[in-house]
């Protein structure tokens, strides 16, 4: 080959290589490659702007739950690697996190995404963060993100407010737009009104540089959206009353439920012992939760709605009302206090209805119920009792017992009003008579109610025959009370029947022989009824149910203190103080207050 012809070989090689390059460009740029997506994924970053969650307020606008800033520490493994590694020991000392936990968190971040920041420590309170934020620059790849967390500064009404915490797998799969790391209401009002409280997240798209710092908005922000603030929920609670109730119930177990009888609005829901929702948020939630769970006094248990107690003597008023309505007694009917079957207390022998309630006469109501349930209409006592109970149970349920009270209180248990089915199951059909079931006549036996039901009963007494379904929300986002929260429910008992009962309730408190004299409030006519409920061989439960003032009542409440003793001694004074607090706004009965505050009823060692 002529040497000059070698120019064609060299020219050919040049052309061949250029052809290969153009082919490669074609493949990379025009072929079905994913490079476009890949480039977008690493250069574009979506910034989620969480909306401020709506606050939860009391009826007077005082804050129950609000948001405060906290910080998450994030770690981007690649940045640390590029900078030559991270001093994990120094970091663990700086942020006060156990080094083995830190290393675990770092490994998790590494496994998730090398060039994306992943959280290694969440919800660091503002004060704690301030102590080490100045040191963070020393640690490559570590950055912080501000987020707001929920705070219940007073620690009040935790059982009602409920938990707000990180979403779990189920929430993420629910299709409601939750993302990994989002928080949501998990119980109580936080869960019930989640959709309104949550607001709408905003999204900002950024172009980022290789250090993942935002550089400029993507496409001039045309895809961005602004966050929409969550709505505030105003509850019906009276924070002062709620806080006072919680203070009175310190070192005790039990519940106080207070309502406005005229509106059905719940004023206080005290479940003792209690905790603060703040205790269950933040980085120590796990250990705190386990601590609460192990406590034998069950602080996590919402006694106002979940505990079902025997109502005890307060049930006698319903018995009396229905008996009057049924016509089996008149206000003046006197019944011999025959203590053969049921014991009684005090010296009385032939009480009328009012006296029987004041004295809490057990044989009286045993006889009253017998007249209703087993009047002798049928051949056998079994058939008779069965028919009688079938008439009796629905009437009791009209007082709300054994029902969900309209269903506006999430988590409320119905309790139990025994009917024929229950006894047929227990004893067999036609195998039981009144003599088998008589203990329900005085509020014992198979009868179970929650403190909310008892407070609602007080409302019925206050209203002389009707109640508004109890509810806890006054307003959401300035749009007023959500519809259908307050519907009126009639008990079907003639109003005149209430006169002697309310007379009796007044006497319980005001008459010197009354069992509830400790419920007196100076200057206010309080109507109430004590209850003392058996709890095996332990100290009895103290129960009190009241409303005040007698005319145009503004508060109806129930007090239940577990294993405290008699209702008159331990539940009545609490009711008295609650009524005084709500109606007068301050406490003059300091001696009574001191007595209650000092009383403790430790969990019985059984």
Partner 1 sequence: MRRSHSIGQRIDWITVLMVGIMMILGWLNVASATSGASSVDWLDWGSKQGKQLIWLVICGILAMVILNIEGEFFIRTSILHYIINVVLLLAVLVIGKKVGGARSWFGLGSISIQPSEFAKPATALLLAWLLSRGDGKLRSMKTLLQSIAVMGIPAALTLLQPDAGTTLVFGGLIFALYREGLSGNVLIAGFCALLVTIASILTGASVMSHPWIGSQSAIGLLWIILTAIGLVIWQLIPNMVVPRNRRRVKNTTWISLVAALLLSSGVHTGLEQLPRHQRERVQVLFGIDVSNPDADYNIRHAKAAIGSGGLSGKGFLSGPMTAYGFVPEQETAFIFCTVGEEWGFLGSAFVILLFTALLLRILALAERQRSDFTRIYAYGVVSILFMHYLINIAMVLGLAPVIGIPLPFFSAGGSSLMGFTLLVFILLRLDAERFSVLR
Residues lying near partner 1 in the complex (CB under 8 A) are found at 1, 3-4, 6-7, 9-11, 14-15, 17-18, 20-22, 24-26, 28-30, 33, 35-36, 38-40, 42-44, 78, 81, 114, 207-211, 215-216
**Please, how many CA atoms are within 13 Å of residue 112, restricted to the half-sphere of its CB?**
16
**Closer CB to partner 1, residue 36 or residue 294?**
36
**Least CB distance to partner 1 at residue 139 (A):** 20
**Closer CB to partner 1, residue 10 or residue 379?**
10
**Least CB distance to partner 1 at residue 22 (A):** 5
**Least CB distance to partner 1 at residue 31 (A):** 8
**Closer CB to partner 1, residue 165 or residue 206?**
206
Strands 555-561 and 254-260: antiparallel
In whole angstroms, give the CA distance from residue 211 to residue 216. Answer: 14
Q: Which of 152, 161, 503 is nearest to 321 (CA)?
A: 503
**Closer CB to partner 1, residue 14 or residue 341?**
14
What token pair was written down for 418? 């025994």
**Closer CB to partner 1, residue 207 or residue 422?**
207
**Please, how many CA atoms are within 13 Å of residue 595, restricted to the half-sphere of its CB?**
13
**Closer CB to partner 1, residue 17 or residue 83?**
17
**Closer CB to partner 1, residue 16 or residue 48?**
16
**Residues forming a β-bridge with 490:** 466
User: Could you tell me where the beta strands, DSSP code E, fall in 383-444?
Assistant: none
**Least CB distance to partner 1 at residue 77 (A):** 10
**Least CB distance to partner 1 at residue 290 (A):** 38
**Least CB distance to partner 1 at residue 110 (A):** 10
Rounded (5°) CA angle 5-9-10 = 110
Q: What is the DSSP string of 1-22?
A: --GGGHHHHHHHHHHHHHHHHH
DSSP state, residue 208: E
Q: Give me the residue label for tokens 């020219």.
A: 11
User: What CA–CA distances, in Å, run from 125 to 67, 136, 277?
Assistant: 12, 16, 15
**Least CB distance to partner 1 at residue 112 (A):** 13
**Closer CB to partner 1, residue 14 or residue 499?**
14
**Least CB distance to partner 1 at residue 296 (A):** 52
Torsion angle (degrees, nearest 10) of CA 19, 20, 21, 22: 50
DSSP state, residue 537: B
């Amino acid at each position: 080959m002529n040497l000059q012809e070698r120019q064609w070989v060299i020219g050919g090689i040049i052309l061949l290589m250029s052809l290969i390059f153009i082919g490669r460009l074609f493949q990379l740029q025009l072929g079905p490659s994913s490079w476009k997506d890949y480039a977008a994924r690493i250069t574009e970053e979506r910034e989620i702007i969480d909306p401020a969650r709506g606050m939860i307020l009391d009826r007077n606008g005082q804050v129950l739950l609000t948001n405060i800033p906290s910080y998450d520490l994030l770690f981007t493994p690649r940045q640390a690697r590029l900078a030559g590694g991270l001093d994990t020991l120094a970091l663990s000392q700086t942020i006060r996190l156990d080094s083995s936990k830190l290393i675990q968190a770092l490994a998790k971040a590494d496994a998730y995404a090398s060039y994306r920041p992943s959280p290694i420590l969440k919800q660091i309170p503002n004060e704690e963060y301030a102590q080490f934020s100045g040191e963070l620059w020393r640690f490559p790849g570590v950055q912080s993100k501000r987020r707001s967390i929920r705070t219940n500064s007073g620690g009040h009404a935790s059982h009602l407010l409920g938990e707000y915490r990180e979403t779990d797998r189920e929430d993420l799969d629910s299709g409601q737009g939750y993302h990994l790391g989002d928080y949501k209401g998990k119980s109580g009002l936080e869960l019930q009104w989640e959709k309104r409280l949550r607001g709408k997240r905003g999204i900002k798209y950024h172009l980022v540089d290789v250090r993942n710092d935002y550089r400029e908005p993507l496409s001039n922000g045309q895809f961005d959206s602004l966050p929409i603030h969550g709505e505030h929920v105003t509850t019906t609670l009276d924070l002062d009353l709620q806080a006072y109730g919680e203070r009175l119930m310190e070192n005790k177990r039990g519940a106080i439920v207070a309502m406005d009888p005229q509106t059905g609005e719940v004023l206080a829901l005290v479940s003792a012992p209690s905790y603060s929702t703040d205790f269950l948020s933040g980085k120590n939630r796990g250990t705190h939760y386990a601590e609460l769970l192990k406590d034998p006094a069950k602080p996590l248990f919402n006694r106002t709605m979940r505990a079902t107690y025997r109502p005890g003597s307060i049930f006698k008023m319903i018995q009396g009302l229905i008996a009057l309505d049924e016509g089996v007694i008149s206000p003046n009917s006197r019944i011999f206090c025959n203590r053969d079957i049921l014991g009684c207390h005090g010296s009385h022998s032939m009480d009328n209805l009012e006296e029987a309630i004041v004295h809490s006469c057990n044989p009286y109501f045993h006889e009253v119920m017998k007249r209703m349930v087993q009047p002798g209409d049928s051949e056998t006592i079994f058939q008779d009792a069965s028919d009688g109970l079938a008439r009796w149970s629905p009437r009791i349920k009209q007082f709300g017992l054994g029902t969900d009270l309209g269903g506006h209180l999430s988590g409320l248990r119905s309790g139990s009003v025994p009917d024929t089915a229950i006894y047929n199951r227990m004893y067999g059909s036609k195998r039981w008579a009144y003599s088998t079931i008589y203990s329900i006549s005085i509020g014992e036996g198979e009868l179970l109610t929650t403190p909310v039901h008892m407070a609602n009963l007080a409302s019925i007494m206050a209203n002389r025959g009707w109640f508004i379904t109890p509810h806890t929300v006054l307003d959401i986002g300035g749009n007023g009370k959500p519809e259908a929260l307050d519907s009126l429910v009639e008990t079907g008992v003639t109003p005149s029947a209430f006169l002697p009962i309310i007379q009796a309730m007044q006497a319980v408190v005001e008459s010197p022989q009354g069992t509830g004299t400790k419920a007196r409030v100076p200057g206010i006519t309080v109507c109430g009824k004590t209850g003392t409920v058996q709890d095996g061989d332990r100290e009895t439960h103290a129960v009190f149910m009241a409303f005040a003032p007698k005319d145009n009542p503004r508060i109806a409440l129930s007090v239940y203190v577990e294993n405290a003793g008699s209702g008159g001694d331990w539940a009545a004074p609490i009711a008295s103080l609650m009524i005084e607090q709500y109606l007068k706004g301050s406490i003059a009965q300091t001696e009574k207050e001191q007595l209650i505050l000092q009383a403790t009823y430790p969990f019985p060692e059984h």
